[in-house]
Structures are given as structure tokens and as C-alpha cells.
Amino acid sequence: MLKAVIDTNVLVSALLSPSGKPAKVLDNVLNGSVVMCYDSRMIAECQAVLLRPKFGFAKKLVQQVLSFIIYSGLSIVPISIEAVFTDEDDKKFYEVAKTAEAYLVTGNVKRFPEEPRVMTPQEFLCVVMGNR
């Protein structure tokens, strides 16, 4: 089972551009090839960001995506990480990924510790393809 933590910026990009790499990552979650790992902090952030008026996403669409993630994903109680992050809001994604031994898919790899499981959507899609 391929497990991934998907950063909010990837979800936003997936919904804004249905033919882009982030959308292909989300497609793999929706079709069951990838199980998304999450915690309540991540869900709260995703909901707050996806409902921002500047994106124009329908509330029903946001609820459907989040409900699917909660229903089909793995809820994780993360282990706290002592590392200092430039943006402490990013730490929750890293903590969940480390605890779940999952990939962390983000558009901002430089904001996370440099390690093999932190990757861009393009890099993650290569892992997905190699896992088939």
C-alpha cells in the first residue's frame, strides 16, 4: 500500500488545474492507488484554505473531497518532531508523514527537511508508476 501525505498547496493546485501533475496525484488517491494519511490539523487547514473566496471552489466540492479523504484515508496520531520549521504550519504535514512512514508530496520541498520521502508531485508520480 502506497501511503502519502499531500500538502494543502498540492490539493489547491489539483482543484485549480485538473490536468496538472497535482491533479494526477489526487487522481491516484481517488482511484485507491494511494492512501492519504492525515490528522485533524491537516483537515482543518485544508478546509480553511480550500474555502477561501479567492479560489472560488464550491463548498460542496470541498466537503466531498475532504469527506473522501477522511473516509478512505488513514487517520494518524503523529509523533511530535523537535525540528524547527521556517513556517511552523508545515510541521504537521511532516510529523504525519514521518509517523505514518508515508511520502510527503508538496510543491514546496525546500520548506521541509531534505530526505528521500519528501518530494514534488512529479517525483511522486514516478514512484506511483514504479509501484504498479
Superfamily assignment of 2-130 in CATH?
Answer: 5'-nuclease (3.40.50.1010)
Whether 95 has a pLDDT exceeding 90, the answer reads yes
93 neighbors 118 (Cβ within 8 angstroms): no
Whether 81 has a pLDDT exceeding 80, the answer reads yes
130 Cβ contact partners less than 8 Å away, ≥ 6 residues apart: none
- Domain ranges across the chain: 2-130
Cell of 101: 512512514
DSSP H helices in the chain: 8-16, 21-30, 40-50, 59-72, 91-100, 121-130
**Residue 84 confidence class, pLDDT cut points 50, 70, 90:** confident
> What does the pLDDT read at residue 132?
64
> What does the pLDDT read at residue 130?
87
- Rounded to two decimals, the pTM is 0.94
CA 74 vs CA 1, 85, 95, 123: distances in Å? 11, 24, 14, 22
The share of the chain scoring above pLDDT 70, in percent, equals 99
* Three-state DSSP state, 129: helix
Whether 131 has a pLDDT exceeding 80, the answer reads no
Nearest in space to 30 (alpha carbons), one of 57, 4, 52: 4
**Residue 125 confidence class, pLDDT cut points 50, 70, 90:** very high
Whether 63 has a pLDDT exceeding 70, the answer reads yes
Q: Determine the Cα–Cα distance for residues 34 and 5; give it in Å rounded to an integer.
A: 10
